[in-house]
C-alpha cells in the first residue's frame, strides 16, 4: 500500500513540475522569466525625432481664386512639410499651380473646390499662379516660401 501511495506522489510531483515548466516556455520553446523584458507593442513605438520615419507636418491652406487674385498672397512652410491647398474657384474658371513641385488643381468652375497636396522638398521662393488665359499676367499669382 505504501508503494502505491509513494508512486501516486511521484506521478503527481512529475505532472505538477511538467505543468509549471511548460507554462514558463514561450512558443519557441525558450524559457520565459518574469524578469525578462517583454518587447513593446508596435503601436507604442515612436520614430526618433528627425528620422525619415518621423511624422511629417501637414500645413493646410484655404485659397480662393477670383478675378485676377488669390485670397492668400503668401504661403510659408518648412522644407519637408506636406502642403495641402484647398482651392476654391470663386467667380469663374480658375486653377492653382506651382510648377517647381509639379502641383496644381484642375481648371474649376465657379463654386468648385479641389485639394492639392505635395511635399515641399526644396527650399526657396516659388510663384504659384492661375494658368487660365491671361490671369497670371493680370496679377493672379502669389508666393510660396519654403524655409529650411
The CATH number for 90's domain is 2.60.40.420
Is the full-model pTM beyond 0.75?
A: no
Number of independent structural domains in the chain: 2
Residues 70 and 102 in one domain: yes
63 within 8 A of 87, measured Cβ to Cβ: yes
Q: Do residues 12 and 71 both lie within one domain?
A: no
- φ and ψ at residue 13, rounded to 5 degrees: -65, -40
Q: Are residues 20 and 74 in the same domain?
A: no
CA distance 95 to 135: 10
Query: Over the chain (148 residues), what is each successive 10-residue block's mean pLDDT?
Result: 76 65 52 48 46 72 96 97 98 97 97 98 98 97 97
Range of the domain at 115: 58-147
Does residue 139 share a domain with residue 82?
yes
Amino acid at each position: 500500500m505504501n508503494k502505491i501511495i509513494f508512486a501516486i506522489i511521484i506521478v503527481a510531483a512529475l505532472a505538477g513540475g511538467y505543468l509549471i515548466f511548460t507554462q514558463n516556455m514561450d512558443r519557441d520553446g525558450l524559457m520565459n522569466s518574469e524578469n525578462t523584458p517583454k518587447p513593446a507593442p508596435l503601436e507604442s513605438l515612436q520614430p526618433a525625432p528627425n528620422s525619415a520615419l518621423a511624422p511629417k507636418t501637414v500645413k493646410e491652406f484655404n485659397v480662393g481664386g477670383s478675378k485676377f487674385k488669390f485670397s492668400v498672397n503668401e504661403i510659408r512652410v518648412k522644407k519637408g512639410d506636406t502642403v495641402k491647398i484647398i482651392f476654391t474657384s470663386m467667380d469663374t474658371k480658375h486653377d492653382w499651380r506651382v510648377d517647381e513641385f509639379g502641383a496644381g488643381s484642375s481648371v474649376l468652375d465657379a463654386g468648385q473646390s479641389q485639394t492639392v497636396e505635395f511635399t515641399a522638398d526644396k527650399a526657396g521662393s516659388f510663384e504659384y499662379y492661375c494658368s487660365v488665359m491671361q490671369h497670371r499676367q493680370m496679377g493672379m499669382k502669389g508666393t510660396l516660401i519654403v524655409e529650411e
